[in-house]
Amino acid sequence: MTASPTDLGNFIGGSLAASKSPGFGDVFNPSSGEVIARVPFSTALDVDDAVANAREAFSAWGEAPAPRRAGILFRYKELLEAHFPELTRLVTLENGKTLAESEGDVRRGIEVVEFACGAAHLLKGESLPQISKEIDACSTREPLGVCAGITPFNFPAMVPMWMFPLAVACGNTFVLKPSEKVPQTAMRFAGLFLEAGGPPGVLNVVNGGREVVERLCTHPDIAAVSFVGSSHVAERVYQLGCQHGKRVQAAGGAKNVMVVMPDANPDSTLRAIMGAAFGCAGQRCMAGSIVLGIGEAAAGITKRLREAVGAMKVLPTDTCPESEMGPVIDAAARDRLLASIAAAESEGARIAADGRSRTLPDRGFFVGPTLLDGVTPDMNVASAELFGPVLSIGCPENLDDAIEWIHASGYGNGAVIFTQNGAAARKFVREAACGMIGVNVGVPAPMAVFSFSGWNKSFYGDLHVQGSEGISFYTRQKV
């Protein structure tokens, strides 16, 4: 018998709080299609309550010594480690990732917390004695105040932890608006932060949709807004936040290219491409969306990929630990992807592996891994972000043409090259206009000590998430 869905609320001022809105939306288990919770569509008044609590907490938290803040984050990391199995299961339940992918999601988030534990070193100011006769100069880094984060469904653990651990380590307080499709992970994070000793009001969670987002971007007491999601919404959040005097970092979508040179190692390259394209069911902004075979590499790449795709185990992730790829997030995403595959076929792409026709689970939101061969730069599928398990295959004549494919999309998140030739690798690294470049790796996503450096339509703002840029974003200088 299926349990009744849980009605969620918000987490404000250190405790659970019912939303002022009577409206709720369904949270699904993507593997089964069952409703597992109901999330409130909170109002601007709920945001106001959260910001008021965060503002009140800031007066003491911003003055707390950096080592004390770090001590709470150390205890928080210990709790995250202790609850690691629970958190990974929760991510799988509400997002649909395989257990291994959920473990990676939570682990990468914990790594940001670990980085934030040492933030005091990066919060140090600078000094220069005798800058003029009998005059010394020094600078300090000061917290901003109340900060906000708006996060997507595809990484329920990692992306929120790109934001709030660094923000609170710098002395700010935080209001998090997670995706309404995966709210339970964020709510659990807030509870564990309180258990670690985080003062009430330092970390708050407000669930909801557009009304919450727009209030966070316009509230006069919010100093900075962090966003991760589609480029269309990222641009809107950036514009709205800036119009209201806020510091904004808004990471958007991508169309990431993987270039295979004739000398690439065939086995390791195939493994890397499969992981990049179909890991997390292709629902990530660093997914490999297009593979470009150069010269002799083009000849056998489709055949090898078709064989690998055909052997993939696409199963419910909540009950089948052997699953190699899970569902997409909901029925709307599934239907959109099926329509995109049909549209690509109508504009001339050849279906080398059709995820629509393979045997899939009867329940849940599944799209089989799909290969689109013969894709050319003028096709819409060559530049549109599909955000699902669909890999396009193209055959440019040379490396210069492949680099032009990258530039034509207008995005600038990631690009990778597979080669054993140092000159080709160096040319690619130098000339590809993307913020994150990989050589013989499928997904060039940086670790927590480096910033997540999207370019062009993949990012709106000046200072990126994570790393030293994350510290700079959540502080301002006093000289």
Q: What is the pLDDT of residues 441-469, one digit of tens each?
A: 999 999 999 999 999 999 999 999 999 99
Q: What is the mean pLDDT of residues 144-153?
A: 98
Query: What pLDDT shows up at residue 298?
Result: 85
Q: What is the mean pLDDT of residues 133-162?
A: 97
Residue 33 CA to residue 329 CA, distance in Å, equals 10
Residue 477 CA to residue 151 CA, distance in Å, equals 27
Q: What is the mean pLDDT of residues 341-367?
A: 96
CA atoms 366, 91, 57, 249: torsion sign:
negative
- Exposed, middle or buried by CB within 10 Å (0-12, 13-18, 19+), for 336? middle
Active site residues: 285
| 431-451 exposure pattern, b = at least 16 Cβ within 10 A, e = fewer | ebebbbbbeebbbbbbebebb
| 387-402 exposure pattern, b = at least 16 Cβ within 10 A, e = fewer | bbbbbbbbbbeebeeb
**DSSP-assigned states of every residue in 74-126:** HHHHHHHHHTHHHHHHHHHHHH---HHHHHHHHHHHHHHHHHHHTHHHHT--E
Query: What pLDDT shows up at residue 446?
Result: 94
Q: What is the mean pLDDT of residues 230-259?
A: 97
Residue 114 CA to residue 127 CA, distance in Å, equals 28
- pLDDT at residue 3 is higher than 80: no
Phi, psi (rounded to 5 degrees) for 296? -65, -25
Query: What pLDDT shows up at residue 4?
Result: 84
pTM, full prediction: 0.96
Q: How confident is the model at residue 1 (pLDDT cuts 50, 70, 90)?
A: very low
State how far the alpha carbon of 406 is from the alpha carbons of 256, 410, 435, in Å: 7, 8, 12
Residue 102 CA to residue 13 CA, distance in Å, equals 29
Closest CA to 433 of 407, 410, 451: 407
Q: Which residue has the tokens 């003491």?
A: 60
Query: What pLDDT shows up at residue 27?
Result: 98
Residue 456 CA to residue 250 CA, distance in Å, equals 12
* 324 C-beta neighbours (distance < 10 Å), count: 18
Closest CA to 205 of 196, 197, 194, 195: 194
Q: What is the mean pLDDT of the chain?
A: 96
Q: Are 366 and 320 in contact (CB under 8 A)?
A: no
Query: What pLDDT shows up at residue 35?
Result: 98
Tokens linked to 177? 């608006």
Q: Are 78 and 198 in contact (CB under 8 A)?
A: no
Tokens linked to 208? 């909801």
- pLDDT at residue 13 is higher than 60: yes
Question: pLDDT by residue (tens digit) across 50-65?
Answer: 999 999 999 999 999 9
The beta strands (E) that lie in 314-406 are given as 350-353, 370-373, 390-394
Q: Are 468 and 122 in contact (CB under 8 A)?
A: yes
Residue 451 CA to residue 470 CA, distance in Å, equals 7
Question: pLDDT by residue (tens digit) across 283-306?
Answer: 999 999 999 999 888 888 999 999
